[in-house]
């Protein structure tokens, strides 16, 4: 069958909604493609060589901070160091890059959670990003354990938890599909007990009601994967402009092809032609 280009435009991260399995939509410019329906079929992505900033739209030779030109990367609050390390928030010092943006995005309830994508990890997210955050990470299990009033507070709690548990996902292990189930409720109870003194100190600093324990049940997720790779080989559009193969699955923000895997979020803003 003759191949035909069906989508051309700049990549943004895949849209995903929970389901059995989760449902993924490829987003290329204004175009959308149901990826679940493409499982087991050939798929090709060809980078045209162009990159557009996802914020201002200007052309850029290099992407910074997952899809930004350098000027936007340097001026936007969403690209500041404190987004990755919320405990470094400098809003109250009067040096926030965009105070209005900070008030809208950082001063709202955040969830501290335990998840299992490649093993037990701790993480934080805005309450409005549940469960999308877990699906983007490729988690097979997740459990919200605490709610706090601001992003900075969530950062301090996460730093405390990192004394006992990692905040990282081993993406190669996640993509091999070998993750074993974890008793998340037992892990939560153990960690809350071991870190009780640290949590008490944070409550004394921010207020007793600023850090609230949650009584929720674990969530479980599964993904549209026909076959997991035995060995994970990663595609990189910066090194080879064309990625092609049979689509075997989607997990996290990765496409799993019989030729290797590609993290589409890494190439946000890259203009590609999609052929199927």
User: How does residue 5 score in pLDDT terms, banded at 50, 70 and 90?
Assistant: low
Mean residue pLDDT across the chain: 96
| Per-residue pLDDT, 180 | 94
* Domain boundaries, given as residue ranges, for the chain: 5-67+224-275, 109-220
Nearest to 6 by CA among 267, 188, 270, 276: 276
Residue 1 pLDDT more than 60?
no
Q: What is the mean pLDDT of residues 28-39?
A: 96
| Per-residue pLDDT, 162 | 97
pLDDT digits (tens, 9 = 90+) for 120-174: 999 999 999 999 999 999 999 999 999 999 999 999 999 999 999 999 999 999 9
Q: What is the mean pLDDT of residues 214-222?
A: 97
In this structure, which long-range contacts are made by residues 103-110, counting pairs with CB atoms below 8 Å and at least 24 apart in sequence? 105/77, 105/78, 105/151, 106/150, 106/151, 106/152, 107/149, 107/150, 107/151, 108/150, 109/147, 109/148, 109/149, 110/147, 110/148, 110/149, 110/150, 110/151, 110/153, 110/154
Residue 3 pLDDT more than 80?
no
User: How does residue 234 score in pLDDT terms, banded at 50, 70 and 90?
Assistant: very high
| % of the chain residues with pLDDT over 70 | 98
**What is the model's pTM?**
0.94
The larger pLDDT score, comparing residue 3 to residue 107, is at: 107
Q: What is the mean pLDDT of residues 237-260?
A: 97
| Per-residue pLDDT, 183 | 98
Q: Please check whether residue 27 is in contact with residue 14, taking contact to mean a CB–CB distance below 8 angstroms.
A: yes
């Amino acid at each position: 069958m003759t191949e035909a280009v069906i989508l051309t435009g700049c990549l943004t991260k895949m849209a995903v909604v929970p389901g059995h399995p989760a449902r993924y939509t490829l987003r290329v410019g204004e175009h959308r493609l149901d990826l679940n329906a493409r499982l087991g079929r050939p798929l090709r992505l060809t980078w045209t060589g162009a990159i557009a900033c996802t914020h201002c739209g200007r052309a850029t030779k290099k992407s910074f901070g997952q899809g930004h030109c350098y000027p936007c990367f340097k001026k936007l609050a969403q690209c500041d160091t404190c987004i990755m390390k919320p405990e470094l928030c400098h809003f109250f010092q009067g040096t926030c890059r965009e105070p209005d943006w900070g008030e809208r995005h950082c001063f709202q309830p955040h969830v501290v959670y335990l998840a299992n994508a490649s093993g037990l990890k701790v993480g934080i997210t805005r309450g409005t990003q549940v469960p999308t955050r877990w699906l983007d990470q490729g988690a097979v299990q997740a459990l919200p354990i605490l709610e706090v009033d601001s992003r900075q507070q969530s950062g301090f709690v996460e730093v405390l938890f990192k004394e006992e548990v990692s905040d990282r996902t081993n993406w190669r292990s996640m993509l091999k599909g070998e993750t074993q189930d974890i008793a998340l409720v037992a892990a939560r109870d153990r960690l809350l007990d071991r870190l009780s003194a640290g949590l008490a100190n944070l409550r004394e600093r921010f207020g007793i009601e600023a850090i609230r324990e949650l009584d929720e049940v674990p969530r479980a997720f599964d993904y549209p994967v026909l076959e997991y790779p035995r060995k994970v080989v990663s595609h990189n559009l910066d090194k080879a402009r064309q990625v092609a193969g049979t689509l075997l699955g989607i997990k996290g923000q990765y496409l799993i092809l019989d030729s290797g895997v590609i993290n589409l979020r890494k190439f946000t803003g890259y203009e590609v032609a999609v052929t199927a």
